[in-house]
């Protein structure tokens, strides 16, 4: 059975088929989890991203993982929170879904998501957690794949919010 797992660690250490990056539309790197992934993967990752030429909000693209333990990186561009009336919830759901679709296309069995848009992009944590968990769980219910989906939280308050969201599904 396909499952969601919640872990608190640095996503760059995850030994999974693919990790997801919370990127921006340029795909040229930045701070937060994006900076950490580019540092750990090495300069070839930036070269591949530059060749792709960008990605619109709500979408995702796949690259190799280079020096990471993960074979692939899925670069998802989450929405910047602008108060909630700019389609932010649908765009956030869309980037989770696109990553899952790409994972299936590339036969990825295990993958790890960070809390997309929950850092620099300022999405309210509880709402982002509900959207992420709902979107992932409905996809797993529908397709039965990928087998293991990790949500990687870097701070305990993020893990708490996602744990609440998972509990909400079970009620
Ligand atoms: N492993 C797992 N999670 C992490 C890590 C890590 N190594 N580092 C940070 N986080 P953010 P966003 C968490 O700001 O809000 C970048 O500059 C972090 O605590 O990385 O989507 C991009 O280039 C937070 O919970 O991504 C974009 O310009 C979550 O990852 C912009 O920031 C997301 O925080 C994207 O902003």
In this predicted model, what pLDDT tens digit does every residue of 102-116 receive, in sequence order? 999 999 999 999 999
Asked whether residue 1 is domain-assigned, the answer is no
Q: Quote the longest CA-to-CA distance of the chain.
A: 46
pLDDT at 92 over 90: yes
Asked whether residue 46 is domain-assigned, the answer is yes
In this predicted model, what pLDDT tens digit does every residue of 117-161 receive, in sequence order? 999 999 999 999 999 999 999 999 999 999 999 999 999 999 999
Alpha helical stretches, state H, 53-145:
88-105, 125-143
Asked whether residue 69 is domain-assigned, the answer is yes
Domain count, the chain: 1
Per-residue pLDDT, 51: 98
For residue 166, which of 158, 53, 75 has the smallest C-alpha distance? 158
Q: Is 20 in the pocket of ligand 1 (CB under 6 A)?
A: no
Asked whether residue 157 is domain-assigned, the answer is yes
Per-residue pLDDT, 170: 80
Asked whether residue 129 is domain-assigned, the answer is yes
Per-residue pLDDT, 106: 98
CATH number at residue 23: 3.40.220.10
Q: Is 34 in the pocket of ligand 1 (CB under 6 A)?
A: yes
Q: Is 154 in the pocket of ligand 1 (CB under 6 A)?
A: yes
Order of strands, sheet of 110-113, starting from the edge strand that comes earlier in the sequence: 3-8, 148-153, 110-113, 18-23, 72-77, 60-64
What average pLDDT does the structure give for the chain? 97
List the catalytic residue out of 34, 107, 130, 148.
34
Expressed as residue numbers, the domain containing 24 is 6-170
Asked whether residue 24 is domain-assigned, the answer is yes
Asked whether residue 81 is domain-assigned, the answer is yes
Residues ≥6 apart with Cβ < 8 Å to 36: 10, 11, 12
If one residue of 99, 114, 161 were mutated to test the ligand 1 pocket, choosing by the most ligand atoms within 8 A of its CB, it would be 114
pLDDT at 31 over 90: yes
Per-residue pLDDT, 1: 86
Q: Which residue lies with its CA nearest to atom 20 of ligand 1?
A: 32
Integer CA distances (angstroms), 142 to 19, 97, 105, in order: 22, 12, 15
Asked whether residue 15 is domain-assigned, the answer is yes
Dist CA 169 CA 2 (whole Å): 15
Asked about 126 being catalytic, the answer comes back as no
Q: Is 119 in the pocket of ligand 1 (CB under 6 A)?
A: yes
Q: Is 160 in the pocket of ligand 1 (CB under 6 A)?
A: no
Helix axes 125-143 and 156-170, enclosed angle (nearest 10) = 50
Per-residue pLDDT, 171: 77
Looking at the chain, the whole-number percentage of residues with pLDDT higher than 70 is: 100
Q: Which residue lies with its CA nearest to atom 23 of ligand 1?
A: 30
């Amino acid at each position: 059975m396909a499952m969601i797992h919640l872990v608190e660690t640095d996503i760059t250490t995850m030994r999974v088929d693919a990790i997801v990056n919370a990127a921006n539309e340029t795909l040229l790197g930045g701070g937060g989890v994006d900076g950490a992934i580019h540092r750990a993967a090495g300069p070839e990752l930036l070269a591949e991203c530059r060749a792709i030429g960008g990605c619109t909000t709500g979408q995702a693209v796949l690259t190799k993982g280079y020096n990471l333990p993960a074979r692939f990186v899925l670069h998802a561009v989450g929405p910047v929170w602008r108060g909630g009336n700019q389609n932010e919830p649908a765009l956030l759901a869309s980037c989770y879904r696109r990553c899952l679709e790409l994972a299936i296309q590339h036969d990825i069995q295990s993958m790890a998501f960070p809390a997309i848009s929950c850092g620099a992009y300022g999405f309210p944590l509880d709402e982002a957690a509900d959207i992420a968990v709902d979107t992932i769980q409905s996809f797993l219910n529908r397709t039965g794949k990928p087998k293991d989906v990790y949500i990687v939280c870097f701070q305990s308050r993020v893990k708490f919010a996602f744990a609440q969201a998972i509990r909400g599904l079970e009620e």
